[in-house]
Amino acid sequence: MSSKTFSFTEDWVVVILGLAVIFLALSGVIVPVPSFGWNDFSELGSKVFSTTNLFAILCQFILVYGVGIVGAFLLKKNVKALLVVFPIVYLLTIVAVVLAGNTVVKDYNLEAVIFSLGIGLTISNFFVLPDWFKNALSTELYVKIGLILLGSTVIFGDILKAGSLGLIQALVVVISVWYFAFWVCKKLKIDKEMSLMLSSAVSICGVSAAIATSGAIKGDNKKLSYVISLVLITAIPMMIFMPYLADKMGLSQEVTGAWLGGSIDTSGAVAASGTLVGEKALEISTIVKFSQNVLLGIAAFFISIYWTYSNSVDEETKRDKPTLKLIWERFPKFVIGFVFVSLLFSFVVPSETHELVKDSLKSLQGLWFALAFTSIGLETNFKDLFKQDNKKPLYAFLIAQTFNVIVTLIIAFLLFR
């Protein structure tokens, strides 16, 4: 008789770990939130490197380190290697977060993930990392845990507060821009995996949408890095020039805010550009961007179903419909964790409790994403991001983004004038 050894898949491990972090917070184990904002070296020493703040950073490290160790154990990975590698990745990530916390850097809307990616890429391209080090990196695990924690911010009650016009614009923009971007990618013969990540990034909410889509389809990290690079690079000029164009066009603050919120891919850039226009523009742009953000979970859910179904048919069985069992086996289980957490915080967790834990969970969510991008950088060769084959996705992104700007302006003018 032969016996099968039970083992967890990565998606189920992610659900277990993500929910463990959530329920720890709900039970009262709330990790303090470190502060990374600083203006000069004096503030860097007195605020970021203060004893209290260093203690908060240490508390976060203990939690994520413990989660990483348990994850490696459940997935039967090399725990000894992780014990060495994870602290190094964490230290590099903290350096990235500290750099992103500088006031000047914030003015240019350079997010922590781009520093994480940049630091990782620099190291991987100037030093030869041993295979045991790279094998200890768990990029997908970090990304998916972050996505499950993201579910705690998607509150159905807040969706209603976002405003009917913002939701209408978000739905029309997301659907139309997503399909247009996907169509462009198909015309340019870009592979389906890249097409899905790029289309979601342009149409929904940039970095988070790209990460969520990559998690849903188990996308290639190099492709994800490329899409993230495009989002972050294009967000800066859009943030600067769109308010100027709106002023020259004589648009009201309401229309301008709706245009900015629906066109610019990162929330930070939206807030920065809205501030340049005025208080009302900032309010409307934030509402519209939030309305798009809350569609992230729904979009990831349907994308995962589409990806699972379409890839359940191989060349030998393409005439047969895939079974529900096969679809379930290939369906990314972390999406279930995301939806469960969103429903939990929407209808079960009291608002007072949510207020107590939301900042801690949001900070941990951002930390997991930053850890993931440090890991991506460490396992990626920089030249792979900008090689000849990647010009078509660049063209598709620019075409789709142009379409996004035009369509969003038209819809914003019709709804908010």
Domain boundaries, the chain: 10-416
pLDDT for 46 equals 92
pLDDT for 319 equals 45
pLDDT for 20 equals 96
pLDDT for 325 equals 64
Residue 78: HSE in the Cβ half-sphere, 13 Å Cα cutoff: 13
pLDDT for 1 equals 42
Within the chain, which residues score under 70 in pLDDT? 1-7, 108-110, 154-163, 236, 266-269, 271-272, 275, 290, 293-294, 296-297, 308-332, 381-390
User: Considering just the CA atoms, what is the radius of gyration of the chain in Å?
Assistant: 21
Q: Using one digit for the tens of pLDDT, what is the confidence trace for 247-294? A: 889 999 889 988 998 888 766 567 667 767 887 787 778 778 767 766
